[in-house]
Amino acid sequence: MKRSGTADLPLHYGAVPPWLAERMAKLGLAITEVVLMEYGKADWIRRMSDPCWFQSLGAVMGMDWHSSGITTSVLGALKKAINPLSKELGIYICGGKGKHSRQVPNELLAIGEQTGLNAQQLVYCSKLSAKVDNTAIQDGFQLYLHSFIVSNEGEWTVVQQGLNDATGTARRYHWHSQQLQSFVNEPHTAICGLQTGNILNLVDKDAASTRTGIVSLSKESPNYLLPEIQQQLILPSHHDVRAKDVDLKRLGAMLWLTHERKPADFEELLMLEGMGPRTLQSLALVSEVIHGTNSRFKDPARFAFAHGGKDGHPFPVPTSVYDETINTLQQAVQKAKIGQSDKLQAIKKLTELSQKAEVNFIPNNNFEQLIEKERAESWRYGGRTVMGVEKPPSKRSKGVQLRLF
């Protein structure tokens, strides 16, 4: 058993508006179906245990790119969309926030009856992973969300989140069942986060004598633990997306590909001909979430340039573009189910072409101009935030050019 990583996130409050929640569920399901078709259940379970990929998924779904709310909203959207199709997909999502987390044992028992999995063992793993992060690891965060995700083949991941009242941050913990060895002796890949002091870690290998002896404490400094980190994601407190939050070379190459080199210009994307550059921009980022390698999710803020954010950062959610992205993915999935995978392969090709474009690409530094353009044109694409619907500006600036690429 190894915890695959942690993420420290600014604490955000407030509910996801219905117009966004519905779209998140549809897009989350479509992305999941493509991943299952292309890479299988085990890979989807593994991705959910990767904090960087999980954050990127939330950003591409239109949530605030850096907030703790991504955890609750993404898991809620996926549970709503996937569980009615669990028998077909072979994926089950249990638990959630608050009182929903306490339903995990009953949900797992029901799944055991349907699939023949050892439900009691799954319940044990669920409870013990929560105990380790909430009790054996005393880092100042108290769990308030616990989600257990399992396939019908028995592989699972735990995503859970804790709150630190003193710092006003939430910390997300990811577990993966790939190699179960021990919950109480070196079960984690890493314990990492902001260096706020000593951490009491009773499952460290050096605490073996403590576990078997009389009551004593084993304190490990973050400076000792950080060299062992495999995955670490610490997001800033500022709401706006800044150039330093984004890999500009990757973003710029993708924008050049989708806005300058349109689908009609090259045969690899003929299946997507007729789609506007703005929707192609969103689809390219969704494609990367599906097909990108692990190293490409270190800057989750970049994926907010697919569908913006409900708080207006980096720009309002373009609902018409969002809907077209969902429809394109859904159509590709349905066609692939009957053996017509051309459209699905064309979407995959977006990722390959974007990565090729990055090789010798040098971006300009007009990052703020890109955001200004997205905001100025947001009303054209049904832009919305939690504050309302975007309206045409009374004095629109003329000739705002996209000069990042």
Q: Is the pLDDT of residue 310 over 80?
A: yes
CA distance linking residue 252 with residue 120, whole number of Å: 50
Read off the pTM.
0.76
Average pLDDT rounded to a whole number, residues 134-153: 86
Cβ atoms within 10 Å of 64's Cβ, excluding its own: 25
Q: Is the pLDDT of residue 299 over 50?
A: yes
364 or 271: which leads in pLDDT: 364
Write down the residue that tokens 């009790």 correspond to.
135
Rounded to the nearest integer, the mean pLDDT of the chain is: 79
DSSP state of 188: B
CA distance linking residue 313 with residue 317, whole number of Å: 9
One DSSP character per residue, 27-49 reads: HHHHHHHHHHHHH-HHHHHHHHT
Write down the residue that tokens 């890493």 correspond to.
190
Q: What is the pLDDT of residue 120?
A: 95
- Per-residue pLDDT band for 1 (boundaries 50, 70, 90) equals very low
DSSP bridge pairs for 145: 97, 161
Average pLDDT rounded to a whole number, residues 197-217: 52
| Strand positions, DSSP E, 70-117 | 91-97
Q: Is the pLDDT of residue 222 over 60?
A: no
Q: Is the pLDDT of residue 35 over 90?
A: yes
CA distance linking residue 154 with residue 39, whole number of Å: 17
One DSSP character per residue, 311-334 reads: T-SSS-EEHHHHHHHHHHHHHHHH
CA distance linking residue 189 with residue 395, whole number of Å: 54
Tokens for 347, please give them.
């979407």
Q: Is the pLDDT of residue 163 over 70?
A: yes
Question: Residue 164: which of 141, 139, 181, 187 has the closest Cα?
Answer: 141
DSSP bridge pairs for 200: 138, 219
Give me the percent of the chain exceeding a pLDDT of 90. Answer: 32
